Structure 1
Amino acid sequence: MTAPAPAPRTIVVVAPDSFKGSCTSSQAARAMAGGLRAALGAETVVRELPLADGGEGTLDALVAAWGGSIHEVATRDALGRPRTGRIGIGVRGAAASDPLRAIVEAADANGLPAVADLPPRPLDADSAGVGVLVRAALGAGAGELLLGIGGSATSDGGTGMLRELGVRFLDRRGDEIAPGARGLAALHEIDATGLDPRAAALRWRIACDVDHPLTGPRGAAAVFGPQKGADAAEVAAIDAGLGRLADAFAALAGVDAAELRARAGLGAAGGLALGPAALLGAELLPGSALVADAVGLRAALADADLVVTGEGRFDASSLDGKVVSRLLAETAGRAPVVVIAGALGITAAESRAAGVAAAFTIADGPASLARLQTDAESLIEDAAARVGGLFATARSAGRAGRAPGAAAQPQTSNT
């Protein structure tokens, strides 16, 4: 009697974003892989591909994929306190003649987790620390800059960053406006005559984590202002200020202000890319696609049976250019995509409608935020083991004659 053919090996791709304030994407991937191997067996092929969307983890992912070295830089956080940031230098281009490339992860300076120990100050948070990192990249001789801009605490339209590069933002008296979003209401004129010529000559490529426009109901203030601590009045003030800033940049650069306000991606990081886009011809890129291409995600997904991803909070914004949306686009329904998150802000029906097979929180019961952050890796591993167990059950049921996938679409879980 001919022996039955062995069942094909299960191939799982683990491709999370970071869990902001808790663990990096590499740590999350390692934890997920451990849980899945425990549930599915050591013979399961688990491919770990830590991802990022322009925010936290982008620098590490791109340097790992492209080469180069990481250097520490003394900078400031969004509220002006000393902080150590990092830049990637010496990353190779496609050809030896390509300019020296630098990578800056803006959240290393203006990230929201770095100021989470203080009460929110959404009108005062400033991107000057990002400008310090850019100046360090210029000082290292970079001719091309890849700037990842997700995860910010700022809504100042990048004015702080550009001040560090020599641009002045003036009121009607010719005085500098207040830093942060607070000063934008008084903006009358932008003086770019002092712009560092190295910044003007730089090739700017900006990796955005979302595709939202600068202003309006889907803009930086309306969608992301509350996440940064802004109340309704502050959201309105930030939105008006960013519109005023767009008008001033449009007048200076001779471009259309309405187009600037509506351009996809300029709502990322509180409008951080506005000045480089208007004045310096910056190219806006979907951060999740850039990192996915760099790490070879498409090839890794080609024969996957299951895809597990995750992030700190899974909500509607996750489907607007972030890591989850990139995985859904790349898998195109060929394998189920499961999300493990610190918190859920989306219903089971909304998840399924977007193409997500299931979403789970890492909470194993009532838990404080502090505990979820402190124990994130072990909780992620446990959640991944539960996902693996459900997947194994669904696969066994399918092999036993049930309709494939009949048990593969569990409801979104909060346990």
Structure 2
Amino acid sequence: MKIVIAPDSFKGSLSAFEAARAIERGIQKAFSDADTLCLPVADGGEGTLDTLVAVTNGQKISVLVTGPLGKKVEAEYGILGDGKTCVIEMAKASGIPLIPREELNPLNTTTFGTGELIKQALDDGFTSFILALGGSATNDGGAGMLQALGLSLLDEKGNKISTGGAELAKIHSIDLSEFDERIADCKFLIASDVENPLIGPHGASHVFGPQKGATPEMVSILDACLAHWADEVEKVTGVHLHDSPGAGAAGGIGGAFQAFFPSRMRRGIDVVIEYTGLQTALEGADLVITGEGQVDFQTASGKTPMGVAQAALLKNIPTVILAGSVGKGIEALYQYGVLSVHSIINKPMELKEAMENAGELLENVAEQVVRSLFYQRNKIKFPTV
């Protein structure tokens, strides 16, 4: 009996690799003869760089960059095993985990450090890039990234503006004369599951701003700033970002790539599935187990469990999802080949306790799921009285 184990990370508690091993231990408790294959995955968010580097036997390069609030942070970019492809996960330089929760403020946060990572990779000779956009703390439309790469954003007096989402309102003109010319000769694959436009009720500020610390008042300010930014970008590039699908990804950095880079966007999970070889790994499998920290109605928008289930469904293999917590709307997942969804929480407990014991909890629920499924196939012996 072959079981493919393909989870994402359980944020704050388990990496995708640790989650996979915990699930494997649970399976082995229930069914020691199972043929298990651990294939940790990601969807373009946090953990994508680590996953792609690991599965291709690549390496990581450390770089000192500007963090989302202007302080220097140690970030890194990845080099895939082919030695030619650079992976940049923007959360490493501009992500929410880099800021204490009480300091989150998308009026001030910047993507400047992500631009510095790209610049360093360009200096190191790379021309092929994969950009993972999830987990950002920013809402600056990618302006900070562009500034780090030489784009000048000028106010009405011709002075360069500072960084941060609120600064976009001051832009009077955009000067492309010093924008890094090497970018035009590169390829950028943007890994993101977000199809939101840049502005409006479904745009970056309204949908994602609150989780980055934006109050309702801030959301209105940020949306107006991005609208002004989009107007100015259109003047110099001819690209209309306002309602462009995917432009709202990661606080609008998706739009920056659409307007200023030779880029194409793909669902993050599809990029990872391709590089991990999941389709090949699924050959001959009887079950797939995937999971992540939170599963709810948003999961069906292209997050890891849905992407894995879709890949398995193509081969008529059922998928079980294990999650730290299960929210509303999971029934939407059943049409994609998901057999069932299980929370790993086995008793009332505080979030801190659940996160500290996530490995054990995941192991236990994996064991119970496999026991219930494979008893029906006579793979687990039931004791006789």
Q: TM-score, with normalisation over the residues of structure 2?
A: 0.90
Q: Judging changes above 3 Å, is the alpha-carbon distance between structure 1 residues 386 and 233 closer, same or farther for their aligned structure 2 residues?
A: farther
- Aligned residue for 1:135, secondary structure, equals helix
Equivalent position of 2:251 in the other structure: 270
> Shift of the alpha carbon at 1:78?
1.8
Equivalent position of 2:174 in the other structure: 190
Equivalent position of 1:343 in the other structure: 325
Question: Which one-letter code corresponds to 1:33 in the other structure?
Answer: E
Q: Is 1:358 aligned with 2:349? A: no
Equivalent position of 1:79 in the other structure: 69
Q: Is 1:373 aligned with 2:355? A: yes
Q: Distance in 1 between matches of 2:306 and 2:291?
A: 11
> Shift of the alpha carbon at 1:243?
2.4
After TM superposition, the structure 1 = structure 2 runs for residues 3-402 of structure 1, keeping only pairs within 5 Å, are 10-39=1-30, 41-89=31-79, 91-92=81-82, 100-255=84-239, 257=240, 260-332=241-313, 334-352=316-334, 355-395=337-377
> Shift of the alpha carbon at 1:229?
2.3
Question: Which one-letter code corresponds to 1:365 in the other structure?
Answer: K
Contact 2:247–2:256 (CA<8 Å) still a contact in 1? no
Q: Distance in 1 between matches of 2:227 and 2:369?
A: 45
Contact 1:348–1:358 (CA<8 Å) still a contact in 2? no
Q: Distance in 2 between matches of 1:150 and 1:337?
A: 24
- Aligned residue for 1:163, secondary structure, equals helix
Structure 2 unaligned segments of length 5 or more: list them.
none
- Aligned residue for 1:357, secondary structure, equals strand
Q: Distance in 2 between matches of 1:103 and 1:236?
A: 33
- Aligned residue for 1:261, secondary structure, equals coil
Contact 2:67–2:98 (CA<8 Å) still a contact in 1? yes
Contact 1:144–1:202 (CA<8 Å) still a contact in 2? yes
> Shift of the alpha carbon at 1:297?
0.8
Q: Distance in 1 between matches of 2:183 and 2:90?
A: 16
How many residue pairs get aligned? The number is 381
> Shift of the alpha carbon at 1:201?
3.0
Question: Which one-letter code corresponds to 2:326 in the other structure?
Answer: L
Q: Judging changes above 3 Å, is the alpha-carbon distance between structure 1 residues 262 and 69 closer, same or farther for their aligned structure 2 residues?
A: same
Q: Distance in 2 between matches of 1:80 and 1:346?
A: 37
- RMSD, aligned CA: 2.5
Contact 1:89–1:140 (CA<8 Å) still a contact in 2? no
- Aligned residue for 2:109, secondary structure, equals coil
Contact 1:104–1:134 (CA<8 Å) still a contact in 2? yes
Q: Distance in 2 between matches of 1:287 and 1:173?
A: 41
Structure 1 unaligned segments of length 5 or more: list them.
1-9, 94-99, 401-415
Q: Judging changes above 3 Å, is the alpha-carbon distance between structure 1 residues 116 and 328 closer, same or farther for their aligned structure 2 residues?
A: farther
Q: Judging changes above 3 Å, is the alpha-carbon distance between structure 1 residues 365 and 175 closer, same or farther for their aligned structure 2 residues?
A: farther
Deviations 1:382-409 (A, max 9, x none): 2222322332345459x99xxxxxxxxx
- Aligned residue for 1:273, secondary structure, equals helix
> Shift of the alpha carbon at 1:38?
1.4
Identity %, equivalent residues: 38
Contact 2:197–2:242 (CA<8 Å) still a contact in 1? yes
Q: Distance in 2 between matches of 1:298 and 1:261?
A: 36
Q: Distance in 2 between matches of 1:396 and 1:91?
A: 42
> Shift of the alpha carbon at 1:223?
2.1
Contact 2:112–2:145 (CA<8 Å) still a contact in 1? yes
Q: Distance in 2 between matches of 1:361 and 1:77?
A: 35
> Shift of the alpha carbon at 1:108?
0.9
Equivalent position of 1:4 in the other structure: none
> Shift of the alpha carbon at 1:141?
0.9
